[in-house]
Amino acid sequence: LDNTMTNYTMTGTESESWFYLIMIAIEGIGGNILEDILGLPEHMKNKNNQVISDFLCKCNFTIKNMTKIIKRMYEKCKQEIFFNQIRIYLAGSHNRYLMNGLTIEGINETFHFVGGSASQRTLIQVYDSLFGIEHEGYSKEFLKSQRVYMPKKHQKYLIHVENQPKLGKYIYSIEDQQLIEMFNNCVNQLKTFRQVHLGIVYSYIMKFIKNENNNVHGNKGSGGTNPVEFLKDVINKNRMALIQNQKSNHL
C-alpha cells in the first residue's frame, strides 16, 4: 500500500488518492487465491483434504490482511473531505440531479450509470460464492445488477466459480471437524471484514447526513442502496453460511 500512488484525482486531495489506494491494495491481496479456487473441484473429487486445508489457511490469512488494509482508511482519508468533496464524484449519472442521464458531446448515447460501489468489485462476490454466502431479495438483485460494471472476463470468472461444486457442501459431507472449523473461521473473518466496512460507512457517510437534501446521494450510498441496511443484511448472510448453521439441503 505504501509503495503505490494515484496518477489522477478529481479533487487533488490526499484523501481521495488514499481512498482509491486502499481499494487497490485489497484487490492486490485478496486476488492471490483466485487461481487456487479453480483447482478446488479436482481436489474435492480426489479428496485431497490436505490441499484443501492449506487453501483454507491461505484464505484465512488473506481475509485477515484485507481487513488490516481496510482499517487503514482512517490514516490518510479525512472523513469531512470524503463526504463534502469526494463523494459527489462517485454519484454516477443515474440520480435525482441527472434525471435524464448524461450525454457527452460527439457521442449519440445517453448514459444512466449508478455511482461507484464496492459491490462492483468482482473479488468480494467471488468470496461470497466460494463460501456459499447466498443473498436474497433486494440484496441479491442489487448485487446481480452491479455485474454489468465488471470487466467481461471478471463476469465470466465469477459465473464459473458459481457453477463449481460447493466447498461447504463437500466439507459438510465428509464430516471433517478440522476442515469445518477452518471453513467457518474463514466465513467469520469475512464477516469481520464487512463489519469494519460498515463502521467506515458510519464514519464517512451516515454521521454527516443531516437530511436527504444535503448531498447528491440523499441518504443512499453511491451505488443507490441504503448502505447500513444493505451491509447489515450481508453480514447476517455470512452468519448463515457457517456450516453448523446450515441444513444439508442448503449446502
Q: What is the mean pLDDT of the chain?
A: 88
pLDDT band at 250 (very low <50, low <70, confident <90, very high): very low
Given phi > 0 = left and psi -120 to 50 = alpha, else beta, which region is 225?
beta
Q: What is the pLDDT at residue 225?
A: 58
Q: What is the pLDDT at residue 180?
A: 96
pLDDT band at 39 (very low <50, low <70, confident <90, very high): very high
Q: Is the pLDDT of residue 223 over 70?
A: no
pLDDT band at 249 (very low <50, low <70, confident <90, very high): very low
Provide mean pLDDT across the span 192-216.
80
Instruction: Considering only residues 122 and 244, tell me which one the structure prediction assigns the higher pLDDT.
Output: 122
Q: What is the pLDDT at residue 212?
A: 54
Which residue has cell 447489515?
232
Q: Which of 87-91, 152-156, 177-181 has the lowest mean pLDDT?
A: 87-91
Q: What is the pLDDT at residue 217?
A: 53
pLDDT band at 19 (very low <50, low <70, confident <90, very high): very high
Which residue has cell 449508478?
114
Rounded to whole angstroms, the Cα distance separating 188 from 172 reads 17
pLDDT band at 178 (very low <50, low <70, confident <90, very high): very high
Q: Is the pLDDT of residue 47 over 50?
A: yes
Torsion angle, CA of 121/143/38/174, rounded to 10 degrees?
130
Provide mean pLDDT across the span 216-233.
62
pLDDT band at 218 (very low <50, low <70, confident <90, very high): low
Instruction: Considering only residues 169 and 135, tell me which one the structure prediction assigns the higher pLDDT.
Output: 169
> What would the DSSP string read from start to end of the chain?
-TT---S--SS--HHHHHHHHHHHHHHHHHGGGHHHHHTHHHHHHTT-HHHHHHHHHHHHHHHHHHHHHHHTHHHH--HHHIIIIIGGGGSTT-STT-TT-EE-TT---EE--PPP-GGG-HHHHHHHHHTT----HHHHHHHHHGGGGS-HHHHHHHHHHHTSPPHHHHHHHHT-HHHHHHHHHHHHHHHHHHHHHHHHHHHHTGGG-SSTTSSTTTTS-TTSS-HHHHHHHHHHHHHHTSGGG--GGG-
* pTM for this entry: 0.86
Rounded to whole angstroms, the Cα distance separating 26 from 22 reads 6
Cβ neighbors of 231 (< 8 A, separation 6 or more) are 194, 197, 198, 201
Q: What is the pLDDT at residue 248?
A: 43
Q: Is the pLDDT of residue 9 over 90?
A: yes
